[in-house]
Amino acid sequence: MYLLEVKNVKKVYTTRMGGNTVQALSNVSFSVEKGEMLAIMGESGSGKTTLLNILASLDKPTGGDVLLNGKSILSISEKEISAFRRDNLGFVFQDFNLLDTFSIQDNIFLPLVLAGKTYDQMNQRLNPIAKRLQITDILSKYPYEISGGQKQRTAVARALITQPQLILADEPTGSLDSRSSDELLKLFTEINQDGQTILMVTHSVKAASHAKRVLFIKDGEVYHQIYKGNATNEQMYQKIADTLTLIATGGVRDA
Partner 1 sequence: MRKFFYVKLAVNNIKKNSQAYIPYILTCIGTIIMFYNMCFLATAEGLGVVSDHGSLRFVMVLGAIVIGIFSVIFLFYTNSFLIKKRKKEFGLFNILGMEKKHIARIMLWETVIVTMVSLVTGIFGGILLSKLMILLLFKIIAIDVPFGFEVPREAVLITVALFAGIFILNLIYNRLSVRLSKPIELLKGSNVGEKEPKTKVLQTIIGLLCLGAGYYIALTTESPLEALTLFFVAVVLVMIGTYSLFTAGSVALLKILRKNKRYYYKPKNFISVSSMIYRMKQNATGLANICILSTAVIIMLSSTVSLYIGMEDVLRTRYPRNIIVSSVSVTEEKVEQFDKYINDTTDSMGIEQIDVMNYRSLTLMASQTQNTFKISTDASGISGSTLLFFISVDDYNRLSNTNYTLEEDEALLYEFRAIVPGDVLDFNGLELRIKKRIPSFDLDGYMSAMLVNSCYVVVKDIPTISTIQKALEQEKQMQQLLSYFYGFDVQEDRDVQMSLTTQLRSNLNKEELQCSVDGMEISRASFYSLYGGLFYLGIFLGLLFIMATVLIIYYKQIAEGYDDKERFEIMQKVGMSRDEVKKSIKNQVIKVFFLPLVTAVIHIAFAFKVITKLLTVLNLTNVPLFAVCTLATILVFAAFYTLVYSLTAKVYYRIVS
Ligand X SMILES: Nc1ncnc2c1ncn2[C@@H]1O[C@H](COP(=O)(O)OP(=O)(O)OP(=O)(O)O)[C@@H](O)[C@H]1O
Question: Smaller CB distance to Mg ion: residue 49 or 233?
Answer: 49
The residue within the footprint of partner 1, chosen from 25, 37, 98, 187 (CB under 8 A), is 98
Q: How far apart are CA 152 and CA 170, in angstroms?
A: 12
Tell me if 78 contacts partner 1 by CB under 8 A. Answer: yes
In the beta sheet, which residues pair with residue 37? 198
The residue within the footprint of partner 1, chosen from 125, 153, 158, 239 (CB under 8 A), is 158
Tell me if 147 contacts partner 1 by CB under 8 A. Answer: no
H-assigned helices in the chain: 48-55, 78-88, 104-114, 119-133, 148-160, 178-193, 205-208, 233-248
The residue within the footprint of partner 1, chosen from 37, 41, 61, 109 (CB under 8 A), is 109
Q: Are 35 and 195 in contact (CB under 8 A)?
A: yes
Closest CA to 165 of 67, 76, 94: 67
Tell me if 248 contacts ligand X by CB under 6 A. Answer: no
Question: Smaller CB distance to partner 1: residue 92 or 215?
Answer: 92
Q: How far apart are CA 186 and CA 222, in angstroms?
A: 27
**Binding marks (x or -) toward ligand X, 27..66, rule CB under 6 A?**
---------------x-xxxxxxx----------------
Tell me if 24 contacts ligand X by CB under 6 A. Answer: yes
Burial per residue of 61-76, b for 16 or more beta-carbon CB atoms within 10 angstroms, e otherwise: beebebbbeeeebeeb
Question: Smaller CB distance to ligand X: residue 11 or 151?
Answer: 11
Q: Give the interface segment with partner 1, choosing from 31-39, 84-92, 181-189, 199-207 (CB under 8 A).
A: 84-92
Query: Dihedral through CA 93, CA 244, CA 239, CA 41, nearest 10?
Result: 20
The SS3 assignment for 146 reads coil
Tell me if 143 contacts ligand X by CB under 6 A. Answer: no
Tell me if 49 contacts Mg ion by CB under 5 A. Answer: yes
**Residues at the interface with ligand X (CB under 6 A):** 13, 15, 22, 24, 42, 44-50
